[in-house]
Amino acid sequence: MLKGIAASSGVTIAKVYKYETPAINVERKDAESTTELEKFNQAVEQSIKDIEIIKNKAQGRLSDEELAIFDAHLMVAQDPALADEVKNMITSDNCNAEYAVDTVAGNYIAMFESMDDEYMKERAADIKDVTTRIKYHIVGVEMADLSLINEECIIVAHDLTPSDTAQLDKKFAKGFVTEIGGRTSHSAIMARSLEIPAIVGCKGVLEAVKAGDTLVLDALDGEVFINPDKDTIAKYEEIEKNYAEEVLALKAFKDQPSVSVDGHHIELAANIGTPDDVDSVIANGAEGIGLYRTEFLYMNSQTLPTEEDQFVAYKKVLESMNNKRVVVRTLDIGGDKKLPYLPIDPEMNPFLGYRAIRLCLDRTDIFRTQLRALLRASVYGQLCIMFPMIATLDEFNSAKAIFEEEKAKLIKEGVAVADNIQVGLMIEIPAAAVLADQFAKVADFFSIGTNDLIQYSMAADRMSEKVSYLYQPFNPSILRLIKMTIDGAHKEGKWAGMCGEMAGEPDAISVLMGLGLDEFSMSATSILKARKIANSLSYKEMQELAEKAIQCTTSQEVLDLIHNTVK
Ligand code: PEP
Ligand code: MG
């Protein structure tokens, strides 16, 4: 049995699919042309078939725009000029086919990559992708391909990127385990939005399993059992069944209001990463979207997304939410989130460095494009915009001024823009929490990002398993910062929400309600349970609980207090 971090709740039992592509060595060898030409032709045909299968499978799951990538790949695979060059090299140089493909493709890739035009640069990535597939077919090594999975399995990988997870078909991918990551890392957040059980930070799992092993994935307790005995399997089948029943029973809370027994209403909203997540948001009875992490739009793209690309995505989310509140966060890149096409100079402490609003206030071209797209989309719903990683009032005021400038420009151009857009900020840096009463005079709302607020308050990297004991949402110091933020907002008649992972923790609902938090935004799958809890609490008692909690000395003391008060 291996231990990891339960990142997305559930239990599942299935065979292992190891997601790792073996490296192939491409060296020049003398070879007989006819055989090599035959190998090349077959590899091209096979690659075309692969791409068509991947495209068909993705239909319905991906947008037309995303599907167009596969058409571009088919064009490369069928490109006569590229094929002729490879064939000429095979015959004139008497070399092996994979070497000819590698050389010819290498020249094209270098040429496209050196171009200034973003569209042309993207073509380099297409050529690389397709010709790699052709090379693997020539040498007869199977490429790992998540979208080609057609049997029920549990994926075991070192890590999964957002684009990897986007390819997963829930019909077959029953869950996943990765070697790295924590509860607030990206793969964890994506797993929750996919609603499949997942364990992250499970060191050594790749080495411990082989393809076809049976795994029991207990993503309630973060345990992975490899080839367990019959009794263990039977035990977990029972747990899986009970969990499924519990999830089903929670559906009764879907259309209920989120209100305490003494009539205090809170808003339960959902966090999303892509417009496709909205289905689950609605299915789980969310009252709005409290955090749309727009960086996935940038991370799943090969170049900076255009104003139009962004407009389409934002409009889709706003329209599908049917006038419920949608809080969109502007680009939060840097730290652990990198864009291959936007290199950032290496820094000693990237989490404390050039990121999020700091980058946007420097690269105002990127920022303005996003704000324009948001402003244009604003007429399709109830939009709130928030800036990430704000440390000072000057930063907030500068960002807001740029927003106002773009708004004025659009109105002058005759473009319709909503006049009720709220502009707020994330409270992720202790300096902002301490000065919340001042921020509340200029901002429309706050959303507390506890994932970062805790790491900065405790000076403990959220990605590091070694210091994860310091990730203490219930530490009274964190509760006091949360209280300052909420009180600061309320003093000016503004609302305060929370979109860090703490908002969806069952144990935290009581104390956060008592502190007066107005909006709780969490992964969609946590909402019904949160509502069940909220509906069972008394606001008056929770206020008393919160008063006591902030006077506690340790995290454990707070947790004991909660467990003794809330049964
Ligand atoms: C947070 O820091 O709590 C937050 C919601 O932002 P992210 O997890 O994307 O950094
Ligand atoms: Mg954050």
Q: Is residue 350 part of a domain?
A: yes
In the listed set 93, 112, 139, which residue is the last one of a domain according to the structure? Answer: 139
pLDDT score for 58: 67
State whether 317 and 416 are in the same domain.
yes
State whether 413 and 277 are in the same domain.
yes
CATH number at residue 439: 3.20.20.60
Residue 162 has pLDDT above 60, yes or no: no
Examine the residue annotation and report whether 137 is marked as an active-site residue of this protein: no
State whether 451 and 397 are in the same domain.
no
State whether 456 and 336 are in the same domain.
no
Residue 187 has pLDDT above 80, yes or no: no
Q: Say how many Å lie between the CA of residue 452 and the centre of ligand 2.
A: 5
450 lines ligand 1 (CB under 6 A): yes
State whether 278 and 417 are in the same domain.
yes
pLDDT digits (tens, 9 = 90+) for 361-390: 999 999 999 999 999 999 999 999 999 999
pLDDT digits (tens, 9 = 90+) for 85-98: 999 999 999 999 99
pLDDT digits (tens, 9 = 90+) for 391-418: 999 999 999 999 999 999 999 999 999 9
Protein residue with least CA distance to atom 1, ligand 1: 449
3 state SS for 225-256: EECCCHHHHHHHHHHHHHHHHHHHHHHHHCCC
State whether 403 and 345 are in the same domain.
yes
Q: Is residue 344 part of a domain?
A: yes
Q: How confident is the model at residue 65 (pLDDT cuts 50, 70, 90)?
A: low
Residues near ligand 2 ion, CB 5 Å cutoff: 428, 449, 452
pLDDT digits (tens, 9 = 90+) for 490-514: 999 999 999 999 999 999 999 999 9
Q: Is residue 27 part of a domain?
A: no
Residue 541 has pLDDT above 70, yes or no: yes
451 lines ligand 1 (CB under 6 A): yes
- The mean pLDDT value for 409-432 works out to 98
Greater confidence (163 vs 156) lies with 156
Q: How far apart are CA 233 and CA 249, in angstroms?
A: 24
- Which residue stretches of 8-140 are H helix? 33-58, 64-77, 80-93, 97-113, 118-139
Q: Is residue 242 part of a domain?
A: no
CATH number at residue 65: 1.10.274.10
pLDDT score for 141: 84
15: CB partners within 8 A, 6+ apart: 151, 152, 153, 154, 211, 212, 213, 214, 215
State whether 324 and 411 are in the same domain.
yes
In the listed set 377, 399, 424, which residue is the last one of a domain according to the structure? Answer: 424
Q: Which of 220, 191, 215 is nearest to 205 (CA)?
A: 215
State whether 216 and 300 are in the same domain.
no
Question: Lowest-pLDDT range, 159-173, 478-492, 541-555?
Answer: 159-173
Q: Which of 186, 264, 360, 384 is catalytic?
A: 186
485 lines ligand 1 (CB under 6 A): no
499 lines ligand 1 (CB under 6 A): yes
pLDDT digits (tens, 9 = 90+) for 452-484: 999 999 999 887 777 888 999 999 999 999 999
Q: How many CB atoms lie within 10 A of CB 262?
A: 11
Q: How confident is the model at residue 276 (pLDDT cuts 50, 70, 90)?
A: confident
pLDDT digits (tens, 9 = 90+) for 128-149: 889 999 999 999 887 777 877 8
State whether 374 and 503 are in the same domain.
no
State whether 397 and 463 are in the same domain.
no
State whether 361 and 473 are in the same domain.
no
Greater confidence (374 vs 295) lies with 374
pLDDT score for 54: 76
Greater confidence (186 vs 314) lies with 314
Q: How far apart are CA 524 and CA 516, in angstroms?
A: 22
Q: What pTM value is reported for the model?
A: 0.76
Domain that holds residue 218: 2-16+155-228
Q: Is residue 22 part of a domain?
A: no
Average pLDDT, rounded, for the chain: 92
CB 200 within 8 A of CB 7: yes
Q: How confident is the model at residue 62 (pLDDT cuts 50, 70, 90)?
A: low
452 lines ligand 1 (CB under 6 A): yes
Q: Is residue 236 part of a domain?
A: no
Q: Residue 265: phi, psi to the nearest 5?
A: -95, 135
Question: Lowest-pLDDT range, 181-185, 201-205, 338-342, 529-533?
Answer: 181-185
Q: Is residue 290 part of a domain?
A: yes
As a whole-number percent, the residues of the chain with pLDDT over 90 amount to: 73
Judged by phi (left if over 0) then psi (alpha if -120 to 50, else beta), residue 212 lies in left
Q: Is residue 233 part of a domain?
A: no
162: helix, strand or coil: helix
- The mean pLDDT value for 206-234 works out to 95
pLDDT score for 56: 79
State whether 113 and 211 are in the same domain.
no
Greater confidence (535 vs 122) lies with 535
pLDDT score for 233: 96
Quote the tokens at residue 431. Answer: 């300096």
Q: How many domains does the chain have?
A: 4
Examine the residue annotation and report whether 490 is marked as an active-site residue of this protein: no
pLDDT score for 311: 97
389: helix, strand or coil: coil
Q: Say how many Å lie between the CA of residue 523 and the centre of ligand 1.
A: 12
- The mean pLDDT value for 246-258 works out to 95
Q: Say how many Å lie between the CA of residue 12 and the centre of ligand 1.
A: 28
Residue 186 has pLDDT above 70, yes or no: no
- The mean pLDDT value for 423-428 works out to 98
Question: Lowest-pLDDT range, 176-185, 260-269, 467-476?
Answer: 176-185
Q: How confident is the model at residue 166 (pLDDT cuts 50, 70, 90)?
A: low
- The mean pLDDT value for 278-302 works out to 91
Residue 28 has pLDDT above 60, yes or no: yes
Q: How far apart are CA 443 and CA 464, in angstroms?
A: 33
pLDDT digits (tens, 9 = 90+) for 434-451: 999 999 999 999 999 999
Q: Say how many Å lie between the CA of residue 497 and the centre of ligand 1.
A: 13
Q: Which of 95, 153, 360, 499 is catalytic?
A: 499
Long-range contact list for 401-404, CB < 8 A, 24+ apart?
402/361, 402/364, 402/367, 402/368, 402/371, 403/371, 403/375
In the listed set 402, 424, 446, which residue is the last one of a domain according to the structure? Answer: 424
